[in-house]
Amino acid sequence: MLNKGAEMPTKVCTKCNIEKPATTENFSTNGKWGLHSRCRLCANAASSRWYQDNRQYVLENRDRERSAGVKLKRYGLTLEQYESLLVAQGGVCAICKKPPVGERLCIDHDHSCCPSEKACPRCIRGLVCRPCNLVLGNSGDNVTVLQDAIIYLGQKERPCLSHLMDQN
């Protein structure tokens, strides 16, 4: 609770019950309505205690999340949902059907669904390997460009480059 009657507004920490100047030096700004209810000293001490009590859990899950190599938060996914999606598509890239080698598959999403930085689970089309993700990205997700690339790759007759170069 803020006390605004003094020269500088103050706030009482809900943990240590000490009244302190209501500054960002004393209180974090990530509270529900502005400044956090506990002072930084109490919040840091509680965080340290929790880490010590749960160190093994933190280390196991931190490594698990880091190894995912995907931006799960950006898509509103948990690691379990990502792994379920991977199982649902047979553990392979949705485009080239190759299994991931050395890294997780990328989350492919429809950029027109959510134009902001953060996407939603409805945007997700599937999981693709990095090379296939680059193809989609470099084509701008443009179906016509990708169809033209398929036609180009399927052409049997191409002008002979050596013949063209001899003319110059």
pTM above 0.95, yes or no: no
pLDDT value for 98: 94
Q: Which tokens sit at 15?
A: 């943990």
Based on the fold, state whether residues 78 and 17 are members of the same structural domain: no
Based on the fold, state whether residues 100 and 79 are members of the same structural domain: yes
What's the rounded Cα separation, in Å, for the pair 144 and 146? Answer: 5
**Which three-class secondary structure string do you get for 65-127?**
HHHHCCCHHHHCCCHHHHHHHHHHCCCCCCCCCCCCCCCCCEEEECCCCCCCCCCCHHHEEEE
Based on the fold, state whether residues 34 and 84 are members of the same structural domain: no
User: What CATH number does the domain containing 90 carry?
Assistant: 3.40.1800
Based on the fold, state whether residues 68 and 111 are members of the same structural domain: yes
Look at residue 142 and tell me if it is in a domain.
Answer: no
Based on the fold, state whether residues 72 and 130 are members of the same structural domain: yes
Q: Which of 103, 104, 125 is CA-nearest to residue 114? A: 125
Look at residue 106 and tell me if it is in a domain.
Answer: yes
- For 93, counting Cβ atoms within 10 Å of its Cβ (0-12 exposed, 13-18 middle, 19+ buried), the class is buried
Domain containing 12 equals 2-53
pLDDT value for 69: 46
Q: φ and ψ at 6, to 5 degrees? A: -80, 175
Based on the fold, state whether residues 47 and 66 are members of the same structural domain: no
Based on the fold, state whether residues 79 and 125 are members of the same structural domain: yes
Look at residue 143 and tell me if it is in a domain.
Answer: no
Look at residue 62 and tell me if it is in a domain.
Answer: yes
Look at residue 40 and tell me if it is in a domain.
Answer: yes
What's the rounded Cα separation, in Å, for the pair 136 and 130? Answer: 10
Based on the fold, state whether residues 63 and 92 are members of the same structural domain: yes
pLDDT value for 160: 67
Based on the fold, state whether residues 6 and 37 are members of the same structural domain: yes
Based on the fold, state whether residues 62 and 124 are members of the same structural domain: yes
pLDDT by residue for the chain (168 residues), tens only, comes to: 555 655 778 888 888 998 988 887 778 776 666 788 888 888 889 889 988 998 887 777 665 555 554 467 777 788 888 889 999 999 999 999 999 887 788 888 887 777 666 667 777 889 999 999 999 989 988 999 999 999 988 887 766 666 666 665
Q: State how many domains the chain has.
A: 2
| Contact present, 94 and 125 (Cβ < 8 Å) | yes
